[in-house]
Amino acid sequence: MLGRNLLRFAFTAVVLGLTSLGASAQTFVFTAIPDEDETRLQERFQAVADYLEEELGVDVRFVPVKSYAAAVSAFRNDQVQLAWFGALSGVQARERVPGSQALAQGTEDQAFYTYIVAHKSTGLEPNSGLTEAMRGMTFTFGSKGSTSGRLVPEYYIREAFGEAPDEVFSRVGYSGNHSRTASMVASGAYQLGAVNYTVWETEIEAGNVDPDEAHVVYKTPSYPNYQWSIRGDVDERFGEGFTEKVRAALIGMDDPAMLESFPRSAFVPASNDNYAVIREVAKEIGLLD
């Protein structure tokens, strides 16, 4: 009797285990590049997970990552099937997963900007541009894999000075995210920094940055930036048409509070072709194989 009960228990455990694995396999998982304070990201994307779960009719889970590179790796390794990427990290991720698509971008991402900001001690005037007066100062980018915090500003610095940033500035750092760049320049830890324009304006509005301590000296030309990218194999796993269902859900996101947390006014359709220019620039300065 004891042996029979043990067999019955073992069989039940196996069935439950397989059921659990099956449920886990059908969970749609997404992540986002850590471009801001982690607490803000968790709040923002938990709301998105709840919204997508309702719209898609599948279990949806948000998993945070510690770096831009980790977001790309999670996408490549199928730990996540959807991600909110910057332009560069999106290109890098899609290069590694055949058939992957850019699904949607913010209305504002069609024409995005980077600010070069300066501490007041530099003596640089607002909107004075990329000038020789900057040479020899300290400079911080955001993450090494950031479009707005590294790729685009580095491109325009190289264009203006004819040299790499390491040859122009006395010290070049990487803060890790835009919020940190803003605070480092505002505190004087770095004299100059490259920051996503939406984060800079949000930090000033929130009172985290004193505009009397730091100001914008250069605004880049516009470029395409953040986007939602999805792996090329999701239709096989979640059913025919699932990719377009996700795209429709993202474009249909109209809760003002949820959109404001990005901050974006709406999401619009996007495609890989929108980011061809980012791919070319990344190759040109050695950030894409």
Burial annotation 235-253 (CB, 10 A radius, 16+ → b, else e): beebeeebbebbbebbbeb
The CATH superfamily label for domain 2-110+224-284 reads Periplasmic binding protein-like II (3.40.190.10)
Instruction: Decide which of 7 and 36 is more confident.
Output: 36
Structure tokens at 288: 């894409």
pLDDT at 163: 96
**pTM metric for this prediction:** 0.82
pLDDT at 41: 79
Tens digits of per-residue pLDDT, 191-222? Answer: 999 999 999 999 999 999 999 999 999 999 99
Residue pair 139/173 in contact (Cβ under 8 Å)? The answer is yes
Domain edges within the chain: 2-110+224-284, 114-219
In 160-204, at which residue ranges do the beta strands (DSSP E only) sit?
Answer: 171-174, 192-196
Asked whether the predicted pLDDT for residue 21 surpasses 50, the reply is no
As its CATH architecture, domain 114-219 has 3-Layer(aba) Sandwich (3.40)
Domain pair 2-110+224-284 / 114-219, same fold: yes
Tens digits of per-residue pLDDT, 75-105? Answer: 999 999 999 999 999 999 999 999 999 999 9
Asked whether the predicted pLDDT for residue 17 surpasses 80, the reply is no
Handedness of CA 170, 197, 153, 145 (dihedral sign): positive
